[in-house]
Chain A
Amino acid sequence: MATEASPIFDTDELVINMGPQHPSTHGVLRIVLKLDGERVIDADVVIGYIHRGIEKLSENRDWTQIILLTDRMDYVAAATNNLGYCETVEKLMEIEVPRRARYIRTVLAELQRIASHCLWLGTHAMDIGAMTVFLYAFRERELILDLFEDYCGARLTYNSMRIGGLPLDIPTGWDNKVRAFCDLMESKIPEYEELLTNNRIWLERTRGVGVISGEDAVGLGLCGPPLRGSGVYRDVRKDEPYAAYDEFEFDVPLGTNGDTYDRYLIRLEEFKQSIRIIRQGLDGMPEGPVMGKVPRLIKPKAGETYHAIESPKGELGYFIVSDGRATNPYRFRVRPPSFCNLQGLRPLIVGHLVADVVTLIGTIDVVLGEVDR
């Protein structure tokens, strides 16, 4: 009887409102979907539900206070936000950061990348229905949060860096804990791969879904794993090295098809590359101070600068203007990778099925706190 039933499904044009309260829009994203049966014929991505005015707030805080505001943008990767901001101000003020501080910063940033990717992997797999991967990934993320707690006392919003270096040196024995974590993490990655990489259903759900060509990806201004998934070589860590990345060896994984599966493989590979960087950082950790010579009152001379780093989600840039008189920025603007990647969502989901919409929200890895700021 159902032979007749299948084709008649696509008679109605239905407008449904996905979010802002929806279990898989990763916070408060809202998508107005126009459906033809199960197929999406148009989508309207609505953002702004978690706008807190971080940029405007920052223009009324002094330079050090802004660090803890940046924690609250990409709240699953606070350390990289801190890093980007501090480096921008250092660039503006031409402060030399001690080598040890740069090493520790790199290690922290890479740990943060693993934590962020763990969260992405868990929720992405959960969206596609593999609920066990979610808890496995969160189990490892928990260990990283413990490491951060050991280092700075906080588990989510670290406020872990200062302009000119770091507030604290690493505690005794911390490097061994990190090494032990790296070994553990390396043994856990095959566990994820076993559940997903060669799983027929996972392949069917991700391969050929949300394909975006390299040209289109560049045209849409994508960055980070979604851009590299389409085979475009762009990684701020390599192109414009910051912190201590120019001293380390690591590979930048590239995709070929630009589909969801490629983006998944790339992020899995980035786990391994991050572990490699962390190990190099710990092994080659130089002795010395962790704080550079910074004036007591931070007051950059008039000027403007843009500085970008590679956050787990892509190119995170800060554009800061100082008028040279006040102890707060004249203009503070963030280029959040999630926001730019979210641009790609509409072209990605049009033409796909409803079930793919959640896959595609997952694959571009957005954090709404960063999109809306």
Chain B
Amino acid sequence: MMEITPAHYTILSAALFSVGLIGVLVRRNIIIIFMAIELMLNAVNINLVAYANEVENLVGQVFVVFVIAVAAAEAAVGLGIILALFRNKETVNIDEMNVMRS
């Protein structure tokens, strides 16, 4: 218990990922869903950094840099879409965003 191994980090990461997943599947506010996705991305990052530290290879960290870049791009575009949707439909509830459903 007292020694912290990568397994500990992996478990933390798995738990965080699941919390994010619950957020995505259960909440209906699209902004919250976006934030839950960010949580899941962070869970993955923790894992990458933990193993990069374990095997003393920085490639894991390089990957995290890319994940953060992608997260930034995703947030910008995603929030742009949310705003555009909100202007048209006055809602952020994903259950009401069913334009493409026949």
- The answer to whether A and B interact is yes
Q: Which residues of A contact B (CB under 8 A)?
A: 1, 4, 8, 11
User: What are the residues of chain B within 8 A of A1 when measuring CB–CB?
Assistant: 72, 76
Q: How many A-B residue pairs have CB under 8 A?
A: 8
Question: Smallest Cβ distance from A364 to chain B, in angstroms?
Answer: 37
Across the interface, do A8 and B83 meet the contact criterion of CB distance under 8 Å? yes
Report which B residues bind A (CB closer than 8 A).
Answer: 72, 76, 79-80, 83, 87
Q: Across the interface, do B83 and A11 meet the contact criterion of CB distance under 8 Å?
A: yes
Pairs across A and B, CB under 8 Å, 8 listed: A1-B72, A1-B76, A4-B76, A4-B79, A4-B80, A8-B83, A11-B83, A11-B87
Minimum CB–CB distance from B76 to chain A (whole Å) comes to: 5
B76 surroundings in chain A (CB, below 8 A): 1, 4
A8: min CB distance to chain B, Å: 6
Most chain B beta-carbon contacts within 10 A, residue among A1, A4, A11: A4
Residues of A within 8 A of B72 (CB): 1
A22, B34: Cα distance in complex, Å: 40
Chain B residues within an 8 Å CB radius of A11: 83, 87
Instruction: Give the nearest-CB partner of B87 in chain A.
Output: A11
Q: How far is the CB of B85 from chain A (nearest CB, A)?
A: 12
Residues of B within 8 A of A8 (CB): 83
- Tell me which residues across on chain B come within 8 A of A4, comparing CB atoms: 76, 79-80
CB proximity of A199 to chain B, nearest CB, Å? 38
In the A-B complex, the 6 residue pairs with the closest CB atoms: A4-B76, A8-B83, A4-B80, A11-B87, A11-B83, A4-B79
Complex: chain A residue closest to B75, CB-CB: A1
Known: A4-B76, A4-B79. 4 other contacts (CB 8 A): A1-B76, A4-B80, A11-B83, A11-B87
Complex Cα gap A30–B30 (Å):
40
Q: Please, how many angstroms separate the alpha-carbon atoms of A1 and B73 in the complex?
A: 9
Q: How far is the CA of A60 from the CA of B27 in the complex (A)?
A: 73
Report the bound CA distance from A156 to B83 in whole Å: 56
The docked-state distance in angstroms from the alpha carbon of A8 to that of B79 is 10
Question: Which A residue's beta carbon lies closest to that of B83?
Answer: A8
Q: How far is the CB of B82 from chain A (nearest CB, A)?
A: 10
In the assembled complex, the CB of B7 is this many whole angstroms from the nearest CB of chain A, namely 36
In the complex, what distance in Å separates the CA atom of A1 from the CA atom of B72? 8
